[in-house]
């Protein structure tokens, strides 16, 4: 699934044009990115939650030289799926 599929989903669900749907998707993405940039956690009941956590792993490796690299302390965005996703995710495969 790509961004266009989400746009199509909105089109099917509503009666908006493709351009309008795309605008909505981008607005949501922008809102999400803005919230995550602000270190806010995003919590959607029944779906999942995004949390910005500090990276604690301070080691990397350059395979070309096999030397260790000190990883700058940054952040990670972690997504934890909610109850509904937990139910559907482990479906038969």
Binding mask 57-86 for a second copy (x = CB under 8 A): ---------------x-xxxxxx-x--xx-
Strand partners, 49: 43, 80
φ and ψ of 62, to 5 deg:
-100, 110
Site for DNA in 27-56 (CB under 7 A): 43-49, 51, 53, 55-56
Beta-carbon contacts of residue 74 (< 8 Å; ≥ 6 apart): 54, 55
Q: Which residues bind DNA (CB under 7 A)?
A: 2-4, 43-49, 51, 53, 55-64, 66, 68-69, 71-72, 74, 76, 78, 80, 82-84
């Amino acid at each position: 699934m790509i961004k266009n599929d989400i746009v199509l989903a909105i089109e099917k669900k509503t009666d908006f044009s493709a351009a309008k749907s795309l605008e909505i998707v981008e607005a949501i993405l922008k809102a999400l990115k803005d919230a995550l940039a602000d270190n806010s956690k995003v919590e959607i009941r029944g779906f999942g939650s995004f949390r910005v956590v500090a990276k604690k792993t301070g080691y990397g490796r350059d395979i070309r030289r096999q030397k260790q690299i000190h990883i700058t302390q940054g952040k990670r965005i972690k997504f934890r799926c909610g109850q509904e996703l937990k139910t559907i995710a482990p479906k038969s495969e």
